[in-house]
Amino acid sequence: MKQLNLILALLISAFGFAQTDILDARENYGVGAVVTVTGICTNGEEMGSTVRYIEDGTAGIAIYPGSNWNAWDMPQRGDIITVTGTITEFNGLLEVGPSLTSVEINSTGNDLPAPQVMGAEDADEDDEGELVEVLNVQFSNGGTIIAGNSTYDYTADGQTGTIYVRNGSAMIGSVLPAGLVTLNGICSQFDSSAPYDSGYQILARDMDDLILSSSINIIGQVDQTGINYDSIELSWSTDTQGDSKIEWGTTPALGQEVYDATNTTSHAIAIPGLNPGSIYYARVISSNGEDETFSNVTPYATRSESSGTITVYFTQSVNTDYATFEDAIPLQGLMDDTIAAYIARAEHTIDIAIYNFGDVGIANALNAAHAEGIQVRFVGQATNSNMALDNLDAGIPIQMREDDFGSGMHNKFMVIDRDYADKAVVWTGSMNWIEQDELDDYNNSIIFQDQSMARAYTLEFEEMWGSSTMTPSDANSKFGSDKTINTPKKFLVGNSPVEVYFSPSDNANQAILDAIATTDGELNYAVFAATRDDIAEAIIDEDDLFLTTVRGLLEQTSDPSSIYPTLVDANMDVFSHEGISGLLHHKYLMVDPGYTDSDPTVLTGSHNWSNSANTINDENTVVVHDARVANLYLQEFMARWLQVGVNEEAASSFDVYPNPADVQFMVNVPASLQTGVLIMHDLTGREVNRQIINHNQHYVQVENLTPGVYTVTLQAGEKQLVRKVVVR
């Protein structure tokens, strides 16, 4: 550090700057002043940002050139640079720029200053812009895939902190370590309101900033590989051999353990003797005799003795031509009555978290339940009109999220009779309880009769509520980024695996990316707002003309941040619903709905595909692995797809069902292509079937074909459409 100070002092003397050092510029020159500063760059392009941070031994500061470095040579890590520009402040972060008049690179390849060691909660204005180091860090989301424009909370020696990963970061796609690490990075700030004295976070530059601290470390994520009525199995991997232990209990205090002394890198232990429909807390530990590594304490659920029935309703029409299990149910004009009917069935408890509440009929149903002695609790978003709240009985307690960051408390869920296996219900989906959502817009609701899910949703509800009693606690209530990872993610509902993610703690955006990545043959999506570039990239990556069908509908396509232009430019099969009567308010995707040999999956909930949904709002997302449910959503999707296709010929359907096929499959042919030829090829390109078509539905016999994957090409003049079909 003394050598760096000497170099910088000589540079300052040679150039004759008015400021003696960066600390002088920070403390004695206000926003709007022009300064000249010299320092060593502690980051380059690896953070996915144009911003450079420099320090000189006295302090650090951010350098912002605007949208790019085109006007100057781009500084890299280890460059000593001299910059002249205007001091500005962005969400509490002091920086020089974007008005820069000079950027000089004085030397390259210099050693960086040693980071200062600090506690997770010690950062303040004096540390801003400097390299720092935090010891004994454990990430709450350890084991998950790192995404861009995301924050990750951690604990360190009893304190808590946050790292932020920008879009374009070299860390994206890597696994966030599950064990203890030493964290290096740049201290930055993002605080949207005066006096700008909070929001300090560390910017990890690349994976080298997460230094494994032990001779044995957990690699990847602890996975719940067994969900049974009376046991839970957890599996994990370590980078060196060690033993296996789970500490567990009915509360985060744990208190019990199971142990296997076998040395291995692949660990799996079951916790026996548990109760069905219950939530337990556990952490895994492995030791090699020298060090030990351990996970965070995490909740897990056993399988419940509930029926596991999954019911789906839609607010508008569906297309039952695509039904393979049962017809989807469009509750056109009857959503409010159906919600009221569910409320009327409640016998013990009702918890509601609704973004916008304006239905007086539902309010009356809640009042009737309350009058019968049923415990009713309500969480909402204070900045909405919520007109029906005035109709609620004054004895029903209410807790509101008061701030207006993002959309705020954006959930749309209800939990009924959580402690009773045969009565417990979770109602969720995209629909607010207002007339427009119920009658005019396109929404979906999905209902689970499952006690384990009901208890998990109750944990999330009570985190916002602030207590487990009928009285909310403002002191303990947590919304948005204050929330913790406090709910199980995996459930077995009937025989269907279901995942549940709550935003912003659970990184639901990664669940969306993961679901998209499982596509084998078909991906369909219908989303109100989609603005995340990583989701656009994932959709584009799944599109394969010959092996996959990728189709989507978006509502807010004129939003400057929408991914719609990106998808259109990539020749994706995507269409705008904007301007059509009734908002496409869905937030769902379905993967391989007709591919029963794959993993037919639906992802839905309240979570739009946006940054605020993932990092600010209170949201819930469910991922349902069930062919029947996927087909129900397909019926809704095809109704919307063909609706758009009334004015967009290219949006017409060309679909193959069933898929996989045993004896025959049916082809739905677009009206504009009903005079043409249908050709089948195997994957070697050999033609195996050719037929003339002249109507909208055509049947193809495949019982004599060898099982495998084939392409089906519909050709009419210069137009050609291709789908994949699996013959078994």
Structure tokens, 693: 């078509």
CB atoms within 10 A of CB 14: 11
Quick one: pLDDT at residue 586?
98
| Averaged pLDDT, 145-162 | 89
Q: Which residues contact 721 (CB under 8 A, 6 or more apart)?
A: 654, 670, 673, 713, 714
Angle at 660 between CA 657 and CA 666, to 5 degrees: 25
Query: Average pLDDT, whole number, for the chain?
Result: 91
Output the pTM of the full model: 0.83
Q: What is the mean pLDDT of residues 247-272?
A: 97
Q: Which of 594, 328, 555 is nearest to 445 (CA)?
A: 328
**What b-and-e string marks burial along 506-515, b requiring 16 or more CB atoms within 10 Å of the CB?**
bbbbbbbbbb
Strand order in the sheet with 687-693: 687-693, 676-682, 708-716, 719-727
Say which amino acid occupies 11: L
DSSP 208: G
491-528 pLDDT, tens digit per residue, is 999 999 999 999 999 989 999 999 999 999 899 999 99
Greater model confidence, 372 or 699: 372
Rg (CA), the chain: 28
203-214 pLDDT per residue, tens: 999 999 999 988
- Average the pLDDT over 549-574 and give the result: 94
For residue 188, pLDDT beyond 60: yes
Query: Considering the chain, what percentage of its residues have pLDDT values greater than 70?
Result: 94
pLDDT digits (tens, 9 = 90+) for 243-255: 999 999 999 999 9
* CA separation for the pair 323, 566 (Å, rounded): 32
Task: At 243, list the tokens.
Answer: 């033993």
Phi, psi of 640 (to 5 degrees): -70, -40
Q: Which of 169-183, 223-237, 570-584 has the highest mean pLDDT?
A: 223-237
- Phi, psi angles (nearest 5°) of residue 578: -65, 135
Q: Quote the DSSP letter at residue 606.
A: S
For residues 646-668, b (16+ Cβ closer than 10 Å) or e, as one string?
eeeeebbbebbbbbbbeeebbbb
Residue 12 pLDDT exceeds 50: no
- Average the pLDDT over 687-704 and give the result: 83
Q: What is the pLDDT of residue 271?
A: 98
Using the predicted structure, report yes or no on whether residue 696 has a pLDDT greater than 90. Answer: no
- Of 170-184, 385-399, 696-710, where does mean pLDDT reach its minimum? 696-710
- Please list, residue by residue across 176-215, b when 16 or more beta carbons sit within 10 angstroms of its beta carbon and e when fewer do: bbbbbbbbbbbbbbbeeeeebeebbbbbbbbbebbebbbe
pLDDT at residue 1 in the model: 45
Q: What is the reported pLDDT for 343?
A: 98
pLDDT at 9: 47
Name the residue type at position 8. L
Are the CB atoms for 285 and 293 separated by under 8 Å?
yes
pLDDT per residue as tens digits for the range 282-339: 999 999 999 999 998 999 999 999 999 999 999 999 999 889 899 999 999 999 999 9
Confidence at 473, pLDDT banded by 50, 70, 90: very high
pLDDT at 328: 97
Residue 15: pLDDT above 60? no
Task: Please report which confidence band the pLDDT of residue 649 belongs to, taking 50, 70 and 90 as the band edges.
Answer: very low
pLDDT tens digits, 50-95: 999 999 999 999 999 998 999 999 999 999 999 999 999 999 999 9
Q: What percent of the chain shows pLDDT beyond 90?
A: 74
Q: For residue 647, what pLDDT is reported?
A: 37
3-state SS assignment for residue 404: coil
- Residue 580, pLDDT > 70, answer yes
Judged on CB neighbours under 10 Å (0-12, 13-18, 19+), 231 is middle
Confidence of residue 546 (pLDDT cuts 50, 70, 90): low
Cα–Cα nearest to 609, from 700, 671, 526? 526
Q: Is pLDDT above 90 for 592?
A: yes
pLDDT above 50 (res 179): yes
Q: Are 618 and 410 in contact (CB under 8 A)?
A: yes
Instruction: Give dist(CA 116, CA 120) in Å, integer.
Output: 12
Which element (helix H / strand E) includes 344? helix 335-345
